[in-house]
Amino acid sequence: MSVKGTKPVGTGINQTQISTSTDIDFSLPYQVYTIDGKKTSLSNGYKGILIIKQGKNAKKIVK
């Protein structure tokens, strides 16, 4: 199959690194989303990329 009219687009994920930053305080309320924007929680067993948002801070983690 051939698709015309598209061009490669980068994902923005070129490197992964372990962050020791404390931007997210897990003792305060925070929201967790899957990469496609569905709200979830850290304890539901989801495997993949999660976005954790707290106030103006956001982090992506791989679980």
Write down the domain spans for the chain.
31-62
Tokens of 34: 């899957």
Instruction: Determine contact, residues 48/62, Cβ cutoff 8 Å.
Output: yes
pLDDT, tens digit, for every residue of 1-47? 666 666 666 666 666 666 555 578 889 999 999 999 999 998 888 88
Residue 53's CB: how many other CB atoms inside 10 A?
13
Q: What is the largest CA-CA distance in the chain?
A: 50
Could you tell me where the beta strands, DSSP code E, fall in the chain?
Answer: 31-34, 39-40, 49-54, 57-62
Tokens 């305060």 belong to residue? 28
pTM of this structure: 0.61
